[in-house]
Amino acid sequence: MTLSRLPRASRRHDASPRSRLPRRLAAAVAASALMAAGPAWGEGVLRIAMTAADIPTTTGMPNNGFEGMRFLGYPVFESLVLWDLTRTDGPAGLRPGLAERWEQSATDKKTWIFHLRRGVTFHDGTPFDADAVIWNLDRFFKADSPQYELQGAGITRARASLLESYARIDDHTVSITSSVVASYFPFMTAYVLFTSPASYEKAGRDWAKVAMLPAAGTGPFRITRVAPRESVVLARNDGYWDRERVAKVDTIRLSPIPEANARIAALRAGQVDWIEAPAPDGIASLKQAGFTITTGSYPHVWPWFYNIGAAASPLKDVRVRQALNYCIDREGMTNFLGGTAEPAVGWLKASDPNFGAPANRYRFDPDKGRALLAAAGYGVGKPLAFKVMISTSGSGQMQPLPMNEFLQENLSQACGVAVSFIVSEWQVLFSSLRSSPDAPSLQGAMALNVSSPSSDPSVMARYFSSANIPPKGFNFEHWADAAFDAALKTLSESADPAEIATATRAAHERLVDDPPWLFVVHDLNPRAMSPKVKGFVSPQSWFVDLTRVSVQ
């Protein structure tokens, strides 16, 4: 069975069309404002339409998931360790950032020593040094520090969940200690961004005012204008420390346009130069009109997170979780998306050498799905029914409304499963990842549709380790698998690449055979751009190098 179009009568939501009207109006207003402002922008200006419903926060630790990090994280505020976005033949690895080098302590494998880059200054001219590092770490990890920022702390602690302590060694050296030995710990430090302490002082020690200053980072771009719900403007940092990566464009304007068709309209009207996640049914006509469409493999999976921990959750039974993975038509979904995705049968792609050899190789097999459901006590007389919380747009969410409607009809027709939706804004949905299983804010949802990176073992640990149940990490499901935890411990403590690879495969096999998620597709990261945009490279990463882009 392949579903190419859904009858509207089949679409069941807990949020009515009327409840979504303000979001549509907001998208229209944003697009109209963008069109009105467009002619004022000249050469050397890159105008990007994001999928976010509002601009990401601008204090130096942006919200809105990895889209926030993509556009208002790394381009402005950097980390000790950065992503190497120069290669396209494999997933992005790490490279030196604000630290020139780092090493694991010879006497304590939980401690890492970071040697800071000399001569780096924040956009406001103040020095980046060990004191600035400690100040920022206190901001995120020391709740009684004057500069503690609750929102930034919540995001950072979840991503760097193993960070336990830190110390200043000298002006240009710091140590950071994890709670357990973790070979992948440098990946976690890549998500800790640094803001000038002077920004906080200038704003009267008020983070809400820091957001509007704007705040100063060390990156290749600096923020020059912040207009909530409208745009953020970035200017090239001509004094950037990496002289090989001084940006080519003078200015970047980032605008939130959450609806895919509104983004396409803005691109066609010449009011933006680049849009994230174009609607699949508009891609062919954009190509015909001369726009550039870029796609590329990257570490991304679009799933449903099962709520296993809720008291009355039907997903406690592994047979139900497996059944749903056999009931969905992934090939049909990729066709529905115009080839901008590929089927996901695990957290990693099946072609990944670390995928392993799980017992379950998920495919569209309704008979097997129904048999597993029957064994778990569900069938015609007692159909499986549950709610899923989804968003209207957001970071990595692709086309969430039509994709979820596809799954809804697919599950109903193939396996008699009744799914209804709780429709929310992206940031509300993302915040729900840190909720307890029976929290009132979940409104009874037995799954969350939040896309995920699958870039490195630190992310695997953050999402699936039994030690990382919220608020410490992102194990929303309250999933615990002893074999997975044992494999994760091995890869964490080993320094042998072969042993790490073997343990990673073993861990991933458990993710497939005892699935905490419904694995749906891997996104191929489509973007649409004006032919005036030159130099863009689509790395195998959630992040992009905006310094290489020009507008001609």
Token code pair at residue 40 = 């004022």
Give 2's pLDDT tier (boundaries 50, 70, 90): very low
The percentage of the chain sitting over the pLDDT mark of 90, rounded to a whole number, equals 86
Q: Are 258 and 428 in contact (CB under 8 A)?
A: no
Mean pLDDT value across residues 377-405: 95
Query: Between residues 275 and 25, which one has the greater pLDDT?
Result: 275
Give 170's pLDDT tier (boundaries 50, 70, 90): very high
Q: Are 345 and 337 in contact (CB under 8 A)?
A: no
pLDDT tens digits, 340-373 = 999 999 999 999 999 999 999 999 999 999 999 9
The percentage of the chain sitting over the pLDDT mark of 70, rounded to a whole number, equals 92
pLDDT tens digits, 195-246 = 999 999 999 999 999 999 999 999 999 999 999 999 999 999 999 999 999 9
pLDDT tens digits, 10-50 = 344 444 333 333 444 344 444 444 444 443 344 599 999 99
pLDDT of amino acid 6 = 36
Residue 102 phi/psi, 5-degree rounding, is -155, 160
Q: Where are the domains of the chain?
A: 20-67+219-296+526-551, 81-200, 298-523
Specify the DSSP element, H or E, that contains 386.
strand 385-391
pLDDT tens digits, 439-475 = 999 999 999 999 999 999 999 999 999 999 988 888 9
Topology given in CATH for the domain delimited by 298-523:
Dipeptide-binding Protein; domain 3 (3.10.105)
Mean pLDDT value across residues 179-183: 94
Question: What predicted TM-score, i.e. pTM, was given to this entire model?
Answer: 0.85
Q: Which amino acid is at 201?
A: E
Topology given in CATH for the domain delimited by 81-200:
Dipeptide-binding Protein; domain 1 (3.90.76)
Q: How many CB atoms lie within 10 A of CB 125?
A: 10
Topology given in CATH for the domain delimited by 20-67+219-296+526-551:
D-Maltodextrin-Binding Protein; domain 2 (3.40.190)
Helices (H), 38-146: 65-72, 130-141
